[in-house]
C-alpha cells in the first residue's frame, strides 16, 4: 500500500485512473447487457438444422409466409420473430394453420420435435428475435405467490383469474392455460402470438415469467379448494347450475311438501 501511495502523484497516475474507470464501467455494462441475452445462446443450431429447416419451410410454410419468410397477403413476414415464435406456433399445432379465421387454433402438432427445431433454426437465422427459453426458466420451481400477483396484474383480465380463458372481440379468445407446457407459456409471453401483447424482459423479468409459470402449474396441480369449479368460468356456469339443479331441487321439495301422503 505504501508503494502505491507514493506513486499517486506520478504524472501518469491520472491516465491510469481514467483507464481503470473506463474499463470498469465498460465491463459492468457489457455484463449487464449480456445478462438479458444470456439465455439466447443456450440453444445452438447447426448449419444442417438451418438447411433442413429451409426445406421444411419451403414445403409447408412458404405458401402463406412467402419465399424467404418475407411475408405475403396471406401471412406475415417472419424475419426477426425468433425461434421462440416458431417453437410456440408449430409446437402447439397452431401453425401450419388449418384455415383462416379470427385466430389460429390449437390442434395436434404436425411436426416432431426435430423438425420444429429445424424450422426454428431456419427462422432464427433470418433475423435476431427471442430464442427458445432455457429449461431452468420453465421448470415451475419459482415463487408461486409472486407469480400469482404478476398473473393477476398482467394476464388475468384476458386469461381469467383461474387461467380458464375468456372471450375477446369478434370471435377471438384468450385460451385456457391448463395443460400448456411451461416452455410454450414462456414463449407466448416473449413473442405475443396473434393478439396477445408482448411481455418483454423489461416488462416482466425472466424470473417473473418463471414465477408466473410456477403459479400456473401450482393451481393446475392443486385444483379447486371448493370442490368442482364448474369450469371456473364464473357466473355463467355457476348461474346455469344453480338455475337448473338448485331450482329443480326446490321445485321437487315443493311438490313433495304439498302432496298428500298415500
Partner 1 sequence: MGDHGDGHSEQGAVAKAGQSVAEKFQDPGIPPHRPRLADKDPRAAKRAERQVAILFGISVLGTLLFFWAYFGVRLDQTVATLRLQNLLLGLGTGFAMLGIGTGIVHWAKALMPDHEVSEERHEIRSEADRVAAVKIVDEILDETGIKRRPLIRNTLIGAVALAPLPAIAMFRDLGPLPANALSHTMWKEGTRLVHDPTGTPIKASDVTIGSAFHVIPDGLNEMTEGKLEAKAKAVVLLMRLNPELLHPSAGREDWSHDGIVAYSKICTHVGCPVALYEQQTHHLLCPCHQSTFDLTQECKVIFGPANRPLPQLPIKIDSEGYLVAQSDFHEPVGPSFWERS
Minimum CB–partner distance for residue 51 and partner 1 (Å):
31
Cell of 135: 429449461
- Looking at the Cβ atoms of 5 and 262, the one nearer to partner 1 is 262
Do the beta carbons of residue 87 and residue 129 sit within 8 Å?
no
- Report helix, strand or coil for 110: coil
Helix 206-222 crosses helix 144-154 at what angle (to 10 degrees)?
100
Minimum CB–partner distance for residue 245 and partner 1 (Å):
14
- Report helix, strand or coil for 51: helix
Minimum CB–partner distance for residue 235 and partner 1 (Å):
11
Cell of 57: 419451410
Minimum CB–partner distance for residue 149 and partner 1 (Å):
6
Short-list 208, 191, 212, 206, CA closest to 38: 206
Minimum CB–partner distance for residue 225 and partner 1 (Å):
5
- Give, as one character, the DSSP assignment of residue 180: -
- Looking at the Cβ atoms of 108 and 227, the one nearer to partner 1 is 227
- Looking at the Cβ atoms of 65 and 117, the one nearer to partner 1 is 65
Q: Contact residues for partner 1 (CB under 8 A)?
A: 149-150, 153-154, 157-158, 166, 168-170, 172, 174, 192, 194-200, 202-203, 222-227, 256-257, 260-262
- Looking at the Cβ atoms of 120 and 204, the one nearer to partner 1 is 204
In sequence order, the 6+-apart residues with CB closer than 8 A to the CB of 172 are 102, 103, 194, 195
- Looking at the Cβ atoms of 112 and 222, the one nearer to partner 1 is 222
Amino acid at each position: 500500500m505504501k508503494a502505491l501511495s507514493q506513486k499517486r502523484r506520478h504524472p501518469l497516475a491520472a491516465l491510469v485512473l481514467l483507464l481503470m474507470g473506463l474499463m470498469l464501467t465498460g465491463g459492468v455494462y457489457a455484463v449487464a447487457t449480456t445478462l438479458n441475452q444470456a439465455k439466447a445462446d443456450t440453444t445452438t443450431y447447426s448449419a444442417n438444422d438451418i438447411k433442413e429447416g429451409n426445406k421444411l419451410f419451403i414445403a409447408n410454410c412458404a405458401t402463406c409466409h412467402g419465399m424467404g419468410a418475407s411475408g405475403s397477403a396471406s401471412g406475415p413476414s417472419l424475419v426477426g420473430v425468433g425461434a421462440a415464435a416458431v417453437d410456440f406456433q408449430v409446437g402447439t399445432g397452431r401453425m401450419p394453420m388449418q384455415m383462416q379465421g379470427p385466430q389460429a387454433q390449437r390442434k395436434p402438432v404436425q411436426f416432431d420435435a426435430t423438425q420444429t427445431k429445424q424450422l426454428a433454426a431456419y427462422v432464427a437465422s433470418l433475423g435476431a428475435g427471442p430464442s427458445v427459453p432455457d429449461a431452468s426458466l420453465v421448470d415451475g420451481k419459482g415463487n408461486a405467490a409472486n407469480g400469482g400477483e404478476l398473473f393477476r396484474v398482467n394476464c388475468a383480465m384476458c386469461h381469467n383469474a383461474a387461467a380458464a380463458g375468456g372471450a375477446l372481440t369478434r370471435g377471438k379468445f384468450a385460451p385456457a392455460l391448463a395443460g400448456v407446457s411451461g416452455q410454450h407459456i414462456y414463449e407466448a409471453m416473449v413473442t405475443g402470438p396473434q393478439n396477445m401483447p408482448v411481455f418483454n424482459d423489461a416488462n416482466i423479468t425472466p424470473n417473473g415469467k418463471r414465477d408466473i409459470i410456477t403459479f400456473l402449474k401450482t393451481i393446475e396441480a392443486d385444483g379447486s379448494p371448493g370442490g368442482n369449479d364448474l369450469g371456473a368460468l364464473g357466473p355463467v356456469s355457476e348461474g346455469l347450475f344453480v338455475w337448473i339443479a338448485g331450482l329443480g331441487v326446490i321445485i321437487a321439495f315443493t311438490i313433495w311438501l304439498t302432496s298428500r301422503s298415500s
